[in-house]
């Protein structure tokens, strides 16, 4: 049974309901308690304040990070670490090492400036204090010759003995080279900026779990890092900015935790212009290039390179509510984008969980939680991914580019809409690497449910996620690929997509001739247990707008950098993006050099014009 959706309605819903009205959109297979597509409309405004880019157009550093101005501009102290040139003046403090900084007493307007030197700083530290919105606490790197970033290495690193880094029994010291953490669980660091540093080395050798490096803890004991230790770990925090850093050679490159109560939440994070690569643990699925929990997270202008060889984790894994992922370059990993349910802070996102928290643990409720949960729940229903260049190639190529669903708790799965637009995806993958490459994995569609019956509309009125896909370029196979992997837009027939105008290489719907269930080539095939999904989910792929796809035998873009080769095709078939300004693709990147450019229009398909 094929979906009965008009192309016009599909494109209207993928763009601006204000200009198209709200036509009823449903499909014959989507009856039986599942919300109609018209119930999942584009928000009229962002679900959280999306900060404007703080960088300017221009080239990246030699480390492919955004340049950072490390001048001390705050009203606090100018603490200079390793400056070879003597300096004096009001508020100026010069020290030779990171351990000579009194990290416990930093405050608003203080700037810790780490100067490049030929040898790394083999030291680790914790930021337990913070600043204000107007006067953040900053730790930044002053680059050296050729723009080289100062290096902070966890290899044999020492720790200041009075550092407010928590007891050894808490394990936090084992988990990071740089941590943002206050051991007083009634407080959290706020208004902190870490930028312009190269942070590395919690694992040596091949990067297996047994290859952890050692460091000296606050009590002088020699200890080993946890295999999952991060280059930078945010244990909790609000208004935390990580900009222009290189993170490599660790378990997790970046790790952000968020927990209940509010004082242990991570909120309002900006992850901008960093270069993360060579992280992960060999033969381990649970450690990633970046793992982020929290509420209201902006990820932009970053390069997410490949994990270390043999690591099985994802590239960017997020358990977040309110996420915008834009203008990044992604290399392959087990999953390139793994966007799953909130976990340790679900009670402060999902109203049903919050009601249980109030009833069972009222001491964990903080004044203002009701309003914060309302905002987080609205934000949880919309994820925006645009202007990214995704290259899925080589032996580590992913089978599923995006996972948008859950992986532990079915009831808490992402319930709203993933908006995927103006991205360029290049996937020259041989079938010997993986039989299929799929844009979306909306599964698993299995149990782990507290609700009975779990799947009907009354039990889950928030419904199941929808992915809206328009103005993208999907280049499949290509020169040198002799037997390209089969393509599917989704993994499961139950996964729900609304397609607008997209370019996809000719042959995208090649039939593998494998018989059932592979009878909808290019769309979706896998079946699920009907006990754990909505009625009719297995009847046919729940994908609309297929007739809007634009195909050609040759790529309209340079597969190395995304630059248009056939701009006339991309522009004539593209649909101008009519979203609110905060979510309109006004920037673009060169994924090879990470140069940042202003995008002249929004009328062309793909991440570059």
pLDDT in tens, 118-153: 999 999 999 999 999 999 999 999 999 999 999 999
Q: SS in 3 state form for 534-565?
A: CCCCCCCCEEECHHHCEEECCCCECCCCCCEC
**Domain ranges (residues) in the chain:** 94-447+458-604
Residue 238 structure tokens: 């609000």
Interatomic CA distance for residues 293 and 259, integer angstroms:
9
Instruction: Determine the angle formed by the axes of helices 351-360 and 369-380, rounding to 10 degrees.
Output: 150
pLDDT in tens, 533-542: 777 889 999 9
Provide the 8-state DSSP code for 333.
Answer: -
587 with 50: CB under 8 angstroms? no
pLDDT in tens, 442-472: 988 776 555 544 444 434 434 678 999 999 9
Average pLDDT score, the chain: 88
- Supply angle C-alpha 279, 281, 283, rounded to 5: 135
Interatomic CA distance for residues 318 and 256, integer angstroms:
9
Q: What pLDDT is attached to residue 447?
A: 61
pLDDT of 439 strictly over 60? yes
Average pLDDT for 574-583: 79
pLDDT band of 63, cuts 50, 70, 90: very high
pLDDT of 10 strictly over 50? no
Q: Does domain 94-447+458-604 have CATH number 2.160.20?
A: yes
pLDDT band of 95, cuts 50, 70, 90: very high
- Classify 170 as helix, strand or coil: helix
Interatomic CA distance for residues 178 and 194, integer angstroms:
10
DSSP string, 379-439: HHTEEEEES-EEE--STT--SEEEEES-SS-GGGS--SEEEEES-EEEE--BTTT-SEEEE
Nearest CA-CA partner of 227 in 200, 257, 248, 207: 207
């Amino acid at each position: 049974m094929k979906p009965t959706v008009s192309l016009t309605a599909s494109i209207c819903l993928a763009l601006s309901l204000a200009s198209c009205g709200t036509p009823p959109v449903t499909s014959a297979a989507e009856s039986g308690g599942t919300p109609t597509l018209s119930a999942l409309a584009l928000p009229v405004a962002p679900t959280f304040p999306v900060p404007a880019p703080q960088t300017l157009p221009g080239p990246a550093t030699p480390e492919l990070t955004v340049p950072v101005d490390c001048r001390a501009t705050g009203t606090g102290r100018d603490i200079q670490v390793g400056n070879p040139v003597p300096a004096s003046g009001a508020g100026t403090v010069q020290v030779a090492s990171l351990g000579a900084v009194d990290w416990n007493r930093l405050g608003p307007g203080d700037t810790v400036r780490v100067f490049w030197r030929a040898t790394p700083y083999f030291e680790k530290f914790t930021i337990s204090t913070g600043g204000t919105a107007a006067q953040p606490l900053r730790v930044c790197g002053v680059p050296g010759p050729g723009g080289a970033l100062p290096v902070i290495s966890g290899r044999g690193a020492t720790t200041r003995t009075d550092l407010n880094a928590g007891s050894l029994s808490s394990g936090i010291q084992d988990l990071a080279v740089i941590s943002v953490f206050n051991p007083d669980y009634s407080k959290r660091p706020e208004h902190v900026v870490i930028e312009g540093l190269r942070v590395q080395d919690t694992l040596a050798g091949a990067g297996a779990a047994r290859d952890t490096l050692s460091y000296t803890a606050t009590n002088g004991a020699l200890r080993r890092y946890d295999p999952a230790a991060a280059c930078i770990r945010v244990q909790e925090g609000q208004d935390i900015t990580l900009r222009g850093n290189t993170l490599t050679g660790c378990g997790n490159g970046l790790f952000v935790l968020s927990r209940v109560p509010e004082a242990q939440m991570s909120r309002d994070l900006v992850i901008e212009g960093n270069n993360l690569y060579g992280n992960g643990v060999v033969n381990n699925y649970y450690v990633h290039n970046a793992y982020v929990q929290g509420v209201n997270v902006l990820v932009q202008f970053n390069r997410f390179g490949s994990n270390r060889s043999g690591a099985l984790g994802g590239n960017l894994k997020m358990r977040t509510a309110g996420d915008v992922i834009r203008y990044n370059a992604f290399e392959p990993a087990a999953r390139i984008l793994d966007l799953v349910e909130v976990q340790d802070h679900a009670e402060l996102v999902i109203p049903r969980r919050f009601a249980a928290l109030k009833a069972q643990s009222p001491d964990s409720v903080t004044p203002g939680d009701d309003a914060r949960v309302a905002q987080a729940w609205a934000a949880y229903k919309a994820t925006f991914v645009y202007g990214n260049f995704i290259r899925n190639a080589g032996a580590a190529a992913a089978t599923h580019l995006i996972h948008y669903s859950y992986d532990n708790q079915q009831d808490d799965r992402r319930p709203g809409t993933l908006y995927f637009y103006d991205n360029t995806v290049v996937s020259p993958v041989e079938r010997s690497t993986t039989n299929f490459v799929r844009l979306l994995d909306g599964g698993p569609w299995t149990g782990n449910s507290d609700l009975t019956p779990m799947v009907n509309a009354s039990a889950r009125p928030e419904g199941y996620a929808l992915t809206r896909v328009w103005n993208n370029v999907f280049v499949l196979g290509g020169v040198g690929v002799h037997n390209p992997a089969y393509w599917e837009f989704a993994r499961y027939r139950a996964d729900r997509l609304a397609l607008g105008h997209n370019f996809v290489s000719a042959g995208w719907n090649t039939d593998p001739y494998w018989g059932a269930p592979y009878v909808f080539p290019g769309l979706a095939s896998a079946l699920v247990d009907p006990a754990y999904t909505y009625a009719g989910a297995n009847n046919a792929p729940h994908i609309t707008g297929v007739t809007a796809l634009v195909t050609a035998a040759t790529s309209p873009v340079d597969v190395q950098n995304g630059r248009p080769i056939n701009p006339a095709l991309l522009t004539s078939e593209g649909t101008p993006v009519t979203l609110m300004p905060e979510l309109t693709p006004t920037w673009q990147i060169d994924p090879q050099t990470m140069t940042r450019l202003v995008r002249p229009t929004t009328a062309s398909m793909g991440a570059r014009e």
